[in-house]
A and B are shown apart, each in its own frame.
Chain A
Amino acid sequence: MDINLMIEITPLLVKAAWVTVDISARALFFGFFIASALVAMRTSRIPPVRWLARAYISVVRGTPYFVQLLLVFYGGPAVGLRLDPFTCGVVVGAFNIGAYMSEAIRGAIESVDSGQNEASRSLGFGRLETLQHIILPQAAGLMIRSIGVLAIILVKNSSLVSIISVIELTYQAQRLIGSTYKPLEVFTLSALMYIVIIYAVMGIVEFLYRRATRYAFL
């Protein structure tokens, strides 16, 4: 292994890793709102709204993220949608992960015993109040864990935006492999950075999970 080379390219890769974190974090943030909207739509009283949400989730989950990215970036202009590569990565990432996340949130909410809902409603709480004060606090633990899994998928998926020339970790790694002909060194370093990012995500998820489920450990 060429240690000197590894030291030399580290700053470049760190900078690129930051782009990976940035793009994933933004996509996760916006994805959460998209997911919440989808969950709300799926519980709507108006059937077409429910169908729309279900169709959206089905199509997004049923097609490759990579193709979605290419479609929006290269095909977008044909329908008047021009996005710079970074924004495109965030937008497609958010809309993609939002579909998966809506299923995760719904699953967490449904995991709460239905007796909790009945008990709360019998006390006179409304639908939203029940959700806010009774259901969500109990669903939070599972929800955080599943969103954590999705956040990790998002980080790994973000490597695909290298194809539309966002200079993130995988893009930089590929470029460096091409220019140095040292795939092992470059791969080791960039893999390490992905691992650091993913373990950081796991750490945050665990921290949030503990906070959200404190009541269970009193």
Chain B
Amino acid sequence: MEFDFSPVIEYLPTLLQGVGVTLLIGLAVAVMSVIGGQIVAVISLYTRKVVNWPLRFFIWLFMTTPLLLQLYFLYFGLGELILIPAIVVGILGLGFHYMAYNADIFIATIRSVSSGQYEASRSLGFGHLNTLFYVILPQAFYRALPQLSNNMIIMVKDISVLSAIGIGEMVYVSQYAISVTFRPFEFYITIAVIYYLINLMMEAGQTRIERRAAYRR
């Protein structure tokens, strides 16, 4: 048993590029899935069955099948219809997946805002939409924060799966380096460490965000 981390050092710039891609994808997916999740939740709560039933079906479908299968479907399905870069497929795939999970949370937290809040807002003269925007959704958002940030922490770990459809995040760029250097252990350990650090930072951020949001609930 002998470890040699010098290839990892040698490929560090490539690896760091992979980290950058991972973080960028994470940011894009977070924005897409949080905003999209809210929109999906609102639509599925406040529209007629014809509109919200298909939407609920998709939430359910995304939650009961594995991410990788969804990615393959998008990659090969969409790829057949239009020419589309893999990274877009990856962001969309991961985005839809977590949009479904986030929507599921928002549906619950929107429902949990008491009817008194709605009445108070209406009694001031706010209409349905204003009430939704100024009163219901902000509260639902603060209540969703703990689960939402949990989802985002899980999501970032799932970015590694995108290597399966050839997106140049950490795992994918290492696979190339491994094929040249034959040092899988060293590279995967390094990736695990980087992920662990990202995870620790996100957990610290989560605690801070939640502390700040707690008194607004």
A and B touch in the complex (CB under 8 A): yes
Tell me if A74 and B68 are in contact (CB < 8 A): no
Q: Known contacts being A75-B189, A183-B73, is A194 close to B65, with CB within 8 Å? A: yes
B184 touches A70 (CB 8 A): yes
Question: CB of B195 within 8 A of chain A?
Answer: yes
By Cβ-Cβ distance, the 5 closest A-B pairs, closest first, are A75-B185, A159-B66, A74-B184, A71-B188, A62-B199
Does chain B have a CB within 8 A of A156? yes
Contact segment of A108-116, A137-145, A169-177, A203-211 = A169-177
CA distance A64 to B80 in the complex (A): 30
| B contacts with A, residue count (CB < 8 A) | 36
Q: Which residues of B contact A66 (CB under 8 A)?
A: 157-158, 160-161, 171
Interface residues of A in 170-216 (CB under 8 A from B): 170, 173-174, 177-178, 181, 183-184, 187, 190-191, 194-195, 198
Instruction: Check B20 for interface membership: any CB of A closer than 8 A.
Output: no
Kindly report which residue of chain B lies nearest to residue A177, judged by CB atoms.
B76
Q: Is A4 an interface residue (CB 8 A)?
A: no
**B52-63 vs A, Cβ < 8 Å mask (1 yes, 0 no):** 000000000100
A125 to B187: give the CA distance in the assembly, Å: 52
The answer to whether B3 and A78 have CB atoms under 8 Å apart is yes
Using Cβ atoms and an 8 Å threshold, which residues of chain B touch A160? 66, 68, 161
Residues on A with C-beta less than 8 A from B66 are 155-160, 170, 194
Interchain CB contact (< 8 A) of A65 among B61, B64, B157? B157
B134 within 8 A of A: no
A to B contact number (C-beta, < 8 Å): 113
Is A5 among interface residues, defined by CB-CB distance under 8 A?
Answer: no
Query: A75-B189, A156-B66, A194-B64 known; A177 and B72 CB under 8 Å?
Result: yes
Q: Which residue of A lies closest to B156 (CB)?
A: A64
Cβ-defined contact, A70 with B80, below 8 A: no
Residues of B within 8 A of A37 (CB): none
Which residues on B sit within 8 Å (CB–CB) of A159? 66-69
> CB within 8 A of B195: which of A63, A80, A174, A183?
A63
Among B69, B191, B192, B195, the most chain A Cβ lie within 10 Å of the Cβ of B69
- Which residues 22-75 in A have Cβ within 8 Å of B in the complex? 59, 61-68, 70-71, 74-75
Whether a CB of chain A sits under 8 angstroms from the CB of B138 is: no
Given the complex, which residues of B lie within 8 Å of A198, measured CB to CB? 64
B195 contacts A67, C-beta separation under 8 Å: yes
Whether A163 sits at the interface, judged by CB under 8 Å, is yes
What are 20 residue pairs bridging A and B, where the CB atoms are less than 8 Å apart in the complex?
Answer: A61-B199, A63-B195, A63-B196, A64-B157, A66-B171, A67-B188, A70-B171, A71-B188, A75-B189, A78-B1, A78-B184, A80-B1, A156-B67, A157-B66, A159-B69, A169-B69, A170-B72, A174-B72, A181-B80, A191-B65
Q: Give the bracket for the number of chain A residues in contact with chain B.
A: 35 or more
- The reply on A102 being an interface residue by CB < 8 A is no
Assembly CA distance A79 to B186 (angstroms) = 11
| Complex Cα gap A178–B160 (Å) | 22
Contact of A79 among B183, B185, B191, B195 (CB under 8 A): B185
* Chain A neighbourhood of B191, CB < 8 A: 67
CB distance B184 to A75 under 8 Å? yes
B residues 45-91 touching A (CB-CB < 8 Å) = 61, 64-69, 72-73, 76-77, 80
Q: Which residues of B contact A194 (CB under 8 A)?
A: 64-66, 69
Q: List 9 other contacts, CB 8 Å, given A80-B1, A159-B67.
A: A59-B192, A64-B159, A66-B158, A67-B160, A71-B184, A76-B185, A79-B1, A163-B164, A191-B64
